[in-house]
Amino acid sequence: MVESAGDVRAEDIVFDPPAEFAAQAVATADLYARAAADRLGFWADQARSLLHWHAPFTEVLDWSDAPFARWFGDGRLNVAYNCLDRHVLAGHGDRVALLWEGEPGDSRRITYAELTAEVKRAANLLTALGVEAGDRVAIYLPMIPEAIIAMLAVARIGAVHSVVFGGFSAESLRARIEDAEAKLVITADGGWRRGKVSPLKPAVDAALAGGGTTVEKVLVVKRAWDDSEQLAWTDGRDLWWHEELAQVDWEHEAQPFEAENPLFILYTSGTTGKPKGIFHTSGGYLTQSAYTHRNVFDLHPDRDVYWCTADVGWVTGHTYVVYGPLANGATSVIYEGTPDAPKPGRWWALIEKYGVTQLYTAPTAIRSFMKAGREIPQQYDLSSLRLLGSVGEPINPEAWLWYREVIGGGRTPVVDTWWQTETGAIMVSPLPGVTAAKPGSAQVPLPGIVVDVLDDTGAPVGRNESGLLAIPEPWPSMLRGIWGDPHRFHETYWSRFSDGPSGPVYFAGDGARRDHDGDIWLLGRVDDVMNVAGHRLSTAEIESALVSHPWVAEAAVVGASDETTGQAVVAFVIPRARHADEAAREGGVDELRAHVASSIGPIARPRELFLVNELPKTRSGKIMRRLLRDAAEGRELGDTTTLTDATVMKAIADRVRH
């Protein structure tokens, strides 16, 4: 048994797939050979065998207008039908789709037949409210079944959802509503978090205040409050979800849409202050979602109880809470609240209660459980688990080993899965019954996926060398663009390297290393994007939130390493002269931190904020974030010779130390 990576080189620790696991594994080694022999034929087979096509496709990939791809372009399908009706028609209507548990302990068990019925009715409601194919619907909901029902109802009528994470502020919600020109917002009064109601509808009211948006109606799910609670209500705009549903039919026949019909927009942070609306379409996205969910998580839908802990507000929630599992007819656990409510151990209690077989979560969660101590999970029976997954940020070998040992009982394979909002689905991951697992490494591209590590000039790096992660061949679940901004799409993702043999090469924004076996190790972002607790935040967006405060003249933000959340937000602020006293008085710094939380959302609140007189800049005026990161992490300062004034950094480093 290996307890910690300690003095062993992490890349020398290897766990072979357990024999009993390999013997029953969904994915076998021949997938690699089949995909390598005929990559497009392989994807066509996956699309045909995993999905139902109302009209079959004849063309697999059209890359002639690269980087704008068309996958299965002449095929027609209905995404919701694939996630619901066809399972019922195949005789699985009584299979449980969702095992939902609210934070207060209430629960719902929803079968495929029931979920299908609910989605049909909700689709009728959307149509009654005037939502048509192609229209955008914003969804701002807690982790309740209605979030999934709403997404699938939007998909069922060929409209486009834009789910906004409930932790985002009113301001962030408004920006997303405006950018997508949403016609309808679906929200709830609030959701439960840490024993309290976290209100949502008031944020929608604030986001829409003053008018000027394209929103016509707001549908409100009653979740958290009883009737005695007062919610502001705008007559003619606001409607109760349950009252409206009671007025419409239960029957609804799913119509087919083109494979390239947009399915959703999901906003993510980039290197500028404005979030990017990453948009995905239907046939290719659903194919790769179902394929990766089945093969990476070794899904046996008739007997597994699968749990992905992500919120539907992030891409992991889209692909591995909603579309992948439901396309595969899986039974999933969905939990509304936080892991420590009402006390630590809630997750382990859920695993014991529902007999969870696969758990998919983020390294930040694993590290926080490590910190709380193994005594907590050890009080529960976790023996139902047979596979563990990790996503969202690099997982350090210590956390990987702890996860396998303490949560997986030393018997489960662990899959470290690399992907992005943009890739739509998993790209790099071991196959649990095939790949000998290496703690801390995402290892190998999945069968059908081509990923490479390139140097600055675009040439592949050798073994034991580092470079940039790149994707030289298009893949089915790739983003189809940035909503309304084809220029930025080009610039951000397709212009870093010159064209390869298949056309433009995708730049992921991550650094990576190949080890002596050729396995891939992710090294974190190489741009001004931070990864805090597995969530992407932009330095520029937080800086612009800070300078919107009247006290702030200038701000610089860096991601400093943090032992639990991977990175944490650290801000350096120059106050305006006439407000310097206010900023410096007691509580001043906290007010600035709170301002970021209220402009973007609590996840963006800086862990630390330092008031400084100057920022380190090069002669061309560029802020040297590398030096600020050194200071924030308490390291010796790197090279300061390119600064206009080298004493600035010394003053900052002294400030951080005190």
Residue ranges binding ligand WT7 (CB under 6 A): 268, 315-316, 391-394, 416-421, 442, 508-510, 522, 525, 531, 534, 536
Instruction: Name the residue type at position 260.
Output: E
- Number of H helices and E strands in the chain, helices first, is 22, 30
Residue 201 or 293: the one with the smaller Cβ distance to ligand WT7 is 293
Q: What is the DSSP string of 199-214?
A: E-HHHHHHHHTT--SS
Token pair recorded at residue 153: 């109802």
Residue 58 or 495: the one with the smaller Cβ distance to ligand WT7 is 495
Closest CA to 22 of 401, 436, 388: 436
Residue 127 or 169: the one with the smaller Cβ distance to ligand WT7 is 169
Q: Quickly list H helices, 264-345.
A: 283-296, 315-317, 324-327
Residue 158 or 392: the one with the smaller Cβ distance to ligand WT7 is 392
Distance between CA atoms of residues 592 and 607, nearest Å: 11
Q: Minimum CB separation from ligand WT7 for residue 510, in Å?
A: 5
Token pair recorded at residue 439: 């703690």
Residue 248 or 263: the one with the smaller Cβ distance to ligand WT7 is 263
Instruction: Name the residue type at position 286.
Output: L
Question: Going by C-beta distance under 8 Å and a sequence separation of 6 or more, which residues neighbour residue 529?
Answer: 269, 270, 271, 509, 536, 537, 538, 539
Q: Minimum CB separation from ligand WT7 for residue 100, in Å?
A: 22
Residue 420 or 492: the one with the smaller Cβ distance to ligand WT7 is 420
Instruction: Name the residue type at position 455.
Output: D
Q: Minimum CB separation from ligand WT7 for residue 508, in Å?
A: 6
Q: Minimum CB separation from ligand WT7 for residue 483, in Å?
A: 15
Residue 137 or 296: the one with the smaller Cβ distance to ligand WT7 is 296
Instruction: Name the residue type at position 310.
Output: A
Residue that is written with structure tokens 């999905």 in the block = 51
Q: How many CA atoms lie within 13 A of 138 on its CB side?
A: 35
Q: 213, 178 in Cβ contact below 8 A? A: yes
Residue 189 or 311: the one with the smaller Cβ distance to ligand WT7 is 311
Question: Reduced to 3 states, what is the DSSP secondary structure of residue 584?
Answer: helix
Q: Minimum CB separation from ligand WT7 for residue 573, in Å?
A: 26
Q: Minimum CB separation from ligand WT7 for residue 32, in Å?
A: 20
Q: Minimum CB separation from ligand WT7 for residue 527, in Å?
A: 9
Residue 274 or 300: the one with the smaller Cβ distance to ligand WT7 is 274
Q: Minimum CB separation from ligand WT7 for residue 456, in Å?
A: 19
Q: Minimum CB separation from ligand WT7 for residue 529, in Å?
A: 8
Q: How far is CA 108 from the centre of its chain?
A: 25
Residue 265 or 508: the one with the smaller Cβ distance to ligand WT7 is 508
Token pair recorded at residue 395: 């997982």
Q: At what angle do helices 39-50 and 30-37 cross, to 10 degrees?
A: 120
Q: What is the DSSP string of 534-564?
A: TEEEEHHHHHHHHHTSTTEEEEEEEEEEETT
Q: Minimum CB separation from ligand WT7 for residue 418, in Å?
A: 4
Residue 284 or 313: the one with the smaller Cβ distance to ligand WT7 is 313
DSSP 254: P
Residue 201 or 318: the one with the smaller Cβ distance to ligand WT7 is 318
Token pair recorded at residue 518: 């050729």
DSSP 634: T
Query: What is the sign, positive or negative, of the torsion defined by CA atoms of 580, 578, 559, 363?
Result: positive
Q: Minimum CB separation from ligand WT7 for residue 585, in Å?
A: 37
Residue 364 or 421: the one with the smaller Cβ distance to ligand WT7 is 421
Residue 261 or 319: the one with the smaller Cβ distance to ligand WT7 is 319
Closest CA to 567 of 364, 373, 372: 364
Query: What is the sign, positive or negative, of the torsion defined by CA atoms of 531, 534, 536, 540?
Result: negative
Q: Minimum CB separation from ligand WT7 for residue 523, in Å?
A: 8
CA angle in degrees (0–180, nearest 5) for 90-95-98: 125
Q: Minimum CB separation from ligand WT7 for residue 419, in Å?
A: 4
Question: Going by C-beta distance under 8 Å and a sequence separation of 6 or more, which residues neighbour residue 602?
Answer: 167
Burial of 657 (0-12, 13-18, 19+ CB in 10 A): exposed
Q: Minimum CB separation from ligand WT7 for residue 421, in Å?
A: 3
Instruction: Name the residue type at position 430.
Output: P
Instruction: Name the residue type at position 405.
Output: E
Distance between CA atoms of residues 418 and 394, nearest Å: 8
